[in-house]
Amino acid sequence: MDKKKAVKLATASAVAASAFVAANPHASQAATDVATVVSQAKAQMKEAYYTYSHTVTETGQFPDIKDVYAAYNKAKQAYANAVAVVNKAGGAKKDAYLADLQATYETYVFKANPKSGEARVATYIDAYNYAVKLDGLRQDLAKAVEAKDLKKAEELYHKISYELKTRTVILDRVYGQSTRELLRSQFKAEAQKLRDSLIYDITVAMKAREAQDAVKAGNLDKAKAALDQVNQYVSKVTDAFKAELQKAAQDAKAAYEAALPFKVESVAVVNAKQIEIKLNKAVDTSTASNKNNYKVQKSSDSSATALATLDGSADISISDDGKTVTITTTNGIISQFSVANDAPFKFIVENLKDKYGKTLDSYSTNLVVKDTVAPTLKDVKATAKSTTTRVTLVFSEPVQTNGAIAYVGGQAASVQPGSNVNEVILTTAQALEAGKTYDLTLLNFKDYANNFLQPNPTTKSFTVSSDAVAPTVQDVKVVRDNLIEVTFDKAMDASTFAGYTRVLDLNGNPQGGVITATIKSGTAGKTVRLALGSAVPFNDSGVFSGTLVLGNGIKDVNGNAKSATTHSITLTKDTARPTVAGASYVAAGGQYAGNTYTNGAIVLKFNEDVAKIGSDFRLITAGGEDVTSRLNASSAA
């Protein structure tokens, strides 16, 4: 061989070996240097793997990703250099060296489409970068929740949901159990946790929109299905979006009910005194309270007769959701309608409107009073701090008080109807002491089908419960800028609030004038409405922050005084003008809210409570004549 050519070859090999192999004409020395290069390259590839795996195992923390990248790049360079050396000077072991290098490289550093346990560093880098991206979405979602940005939160919720469902498998490909678990716990689990915490919020938001869209498209079945899910989950939403989602749920419900045809679902005789009408949506209280809208026709009648004629004093109550109307007759259905027990009669419902102004079609059904079951005494209640003269009887159905006789402790007691239709109140001649037991005798108590309480007379003993427990405040709610509702754990005496209720500003100065307390109907005496006598001083933003003071002179119905308490309140000035929500005409002799109007009436419904100011009303005829003087403005329920 030409000596110059041999020198050139040796020099080229030295350069390819990156200074590991010196120019040497001896083959044994060259083989040793190639083996060293291969060994060092393999060590560098393993070191890249150890950069993340040993750090996680030993510290429980992730290494700086920059260090992992540096080790990864060194390993790639070492592999490339070693391959070059082997290709130049590998000799007989060339293929073996290359196979060994490739296997090590694909195991520890990189491989296209790797199997489990291969390309460990590249897989880790991809997984870590993905995890950081996922955590960025989580942080953005957390910020959206903090900012109460529901639209942004929903967008990020869906992005994270997609990632968790389709992409997080990349974390499972990382080699090393401790590393996989750390990636899952610090990134995937945290993203999953935040995402899952909003599942009800996003479901309600989506389904409320779906219900609204379905209503607009005229698909009420689809709207109802969506609304059912809204109603199922809205109570479970987070505080961050509660107010917004509750409003969305209410708006969706209102849209659905407004589009729904108004109809009677059923009419039934509850007992010999009451008839119950169930509707598919909330009824307008003015039309529901009009006794002319309910009629009765017996087989012997040529035409139907209005309830207003048959029983002008009948009580009409409407459930809180507005979907149930209960007619409680004065002296029972048999007496008031002149029907016989077990004799059918036609009952007609007409002219009722829903709260959106839709009128239902006239509805009629045959009813029958078939009551042969005697009433039962379900409970006897008497409560006192020390003494009382009041005993409450609770029956299985309404009973008549006329002709009923009661004795308590051997002495006659007066009998009066209770506020609840199934209750009767006894007023005793003597003071009943708390903790003592008394004998009760009831004679001639009967239901409105004249079924007597059995046995007749009925005797029972009862003990007067001792109530010496002070009432406590359960909730304080601002209704509007001059009205606050306070809910207690027991029935309260509204007359005791005078002089013991104050509103103070942040400087401790009294505001709001004289406060008037009334019991809110339908709350069993537990909710008290506090009406401010004058406006509070609002700041430039229309907000008043202060304190509601409830003094120790406030008592429950049994005379137990509460401890003095203070409650932070925030009133927001009402700057929106009231608007007319609807107008209707009551014909002469017709009824509205239980009142009969001989000359007729015009009923205006507003979107909020309004003060009655007669001069603010004008009545103009079609011919332009001002006949306002004929009006007598008054408020009605």
Are the C-beta atoms of residues 289 and 592 closer than 8 Å to each other? yes
157-171 average pLDDT score: 86
431-450 average pLDDT score: 97
CA distances from 406 to 105, 390, 413, 538 (A): 100, 13, 6, 57
Are the C-beta atoms of residues 558 and 471 closer than 8 Å to each other? no
Last residue of a domain, one of 45, 78, 109: 109
| Domain of residue 218, CATH code | 1.20.58.770
| Domain of residue 38, CATH code | 1.20.58.790
Are the C-beta atoms of residues 254 and 307 closer than 8 Å to each other? no
Both structure tokens of 629? 């003087």
How high is the pLDDT of residue 575? Answer: 81
Last residue of a domain, one of 181, 197, 213: 197
How high is the pLDDT of residue 600? Answer: 78
124-144 average pLDDT score: 91
CA distances from 279 to 199, 222, 268, 294 (A): 33, 21, 12, 14
Examine residue 261 and say whether the peptide bond preceding it is cis (omega within 30 degrees of 0).
Answer: no
Reply yes or no on whether the pLDDT at 343 is more than 70.
yes
User: Are 349 and 270 in a shared domain?
Assistant: yes
Q: Please provide the DSSP assignment of 337-400 as one string.
A: HT--TT-EEEEEE-S-BBTTSPBPPPEEEEEE----SPP-EEEEE-EESSEEEEEEEEESS-EE
User: Are 206 and 192 in a shared domain?
Assistant: no
Kindly give, in sequence order, each residue whose CB lies less than 8 Å from that of residue 449, ignoring residues fewer than 6 positions away. Answer: 272, 332, 334, 341, 369, 371, 372
Using pLDDT thresholds of 50, 70 and 90, give the confidence band for residue 9.
very low
Residue 41 placed within a domain: yes
User: Are 547 and 599 in a shared domain?
Assistant: no
Reply yes or no on whether the pLDDT at 500 is more than 70.
yes
User: Are 383 and 420 in a shared domain?
Assistant: yes
Over the chain, what is the mean pLDDT?
89
The DSSP bridge partners found for residue 411 are 408
Reply yes or no on whether the pLDDT at 13 is more than 50.
no
Residue 635 placed within a domain: no
117-130 average pLDDT score: 89
User: Are 134 and 191 in a shared domain?
Assistant: yes
Total count of domains within the chain: 7
User: Are 462 and 427 in a shared domain?
Assistant: yes
| Domain of residue 157, CATH code | 1.20.58.780
User: Are 546 and 523 in a shared domain?
Assistant: yes
User: Are 503 and 584 in a shared domain?
Assistant: no
CA distances from 150 to 146, 157, 196, 204, 239 (A): 10, 10, 15, 11, 12
| Domain of residue 566, CATH code | 2.60.40.1220
419-423 average pLDDT score: 89
User: Are 11 and 51 in a shared domain?
Assistant: yes
User: Are 242 and 311 in a shared domain?
Assistant: no
User: Are 357 and 434 in a shared domain?
Assistant: no
Residue 636 placed within a domain: no
The DSSP bridge partners found for residue 586 are 601
Are the C-beta atoms of residues 310 and 292 closer than 8 Å to each other? no
Could you list the beta-strand ranges (E) of 444-519.
446-447, 458-463, 465-466, 473-480, 483-488, 501-505, 510-511, 516-519
Residue 350 placed within a domain: yes
Domain extent for 502: 473-572
Residue 545 placed within a domain: yes
Residue 401 placed within a domain: yes
How high is the pLDDT of residue 592? Answer: 63
How high is the pLDDT of residue 220? Answer: 94
How high is the pLDDT of residue 419? Answer: 81
Model confidence pLDDT, tens digit, residues 59-118: 999 999 999 999 999 999 999 999 999 999 989 999 999 999 999 999 999 989 998 888
Residue 492 placed within a domain: yes
509-531 average pLDDT score: 93
Residue 114 placed within a domain: no
Rounded distance between C-alpha atoms, residue 419 and residue 422, angstroms: 9
Q: Between vectors from CA 287 to CA 284 and to CA 289, what angle results, nearest 5°?
A: 100
Q: Where are the alpha helices (DSSP H) in 434-564?
A: none
pLDDT greater at residue 357 or residue 458: 458
Model confidence pLDDT, tens digit, residues 206-235: 999 999 999 999 999 999 999 999 999 999
Rounded distance between C-alpha atoms, residue 552 and residue 499, angstroms: 10
Kindly give, in sequence order, each residue whose CB lies less than 8 Å from that of residue 286, ignoring residues fewer than 6 positions away. Answer: 584, 592, 593, 603, 605, 636
Rounded distance between C-alpha atoms, residue 390 and residue 393, angstroms: 10
Reply yes or no on whether the pLDDT at 326 is more than 90.
yes
Secondary structure (3-state) at 581: strand
User: Are 240 and 268 in a shared domain?
Assistant: no
Amino acid at 80: A
Model confidence pLDDT, tens digit, residues 476-499: 999 999 999 999 999 999 999 999
Rounded distance between C-alpha atoms, residue 103 and residue 109, angstroms: 10
180-205 average pLDDT score: 90
Reply yes or no on whether the pLDDT at 177 is more than 70.
yes
421-443 average pLDDT score: 97
pLDDT greater at residue 634 or residue 144: 144
Buried b / exposed e over 496-533, threshold 16 CB at 10 Å, is: bbeebbbbbeeeeeebbeebebebbeeeebbbbbbbbe
Phi and psi angles of residue 406, each rounded to the nearest 5 degrees, phi first: -135, 145
Reply yes or no on whether the pLDDT at 30 is more than 80.
no
Last residue of a domain, one of 524, 550, 572: 572
How high is the pLDDT of residue 635? Answer: 62
How many percent of the chain have pLDDT more than 90?
A: 71
The radius of gyration of the chain from alpha carbons, rounded to an integer in Å, stands at 42
Kindly give, in sequence order, each residue whose CB lies less than 8 Å from that of residue 102, ignoring residues fewer than 6 positions away. Answer: none
267-284 average pLDDT score: 95
Q: How far apart are the first and last CA of the chain?
A: 120
CA distances from 260 to 215, 278, 283, 358, 359 (A): 9, 15, 13, 9, 11
Rounded distance between C-alpha atoms, residue 579 and residue 28, angstroms: 103
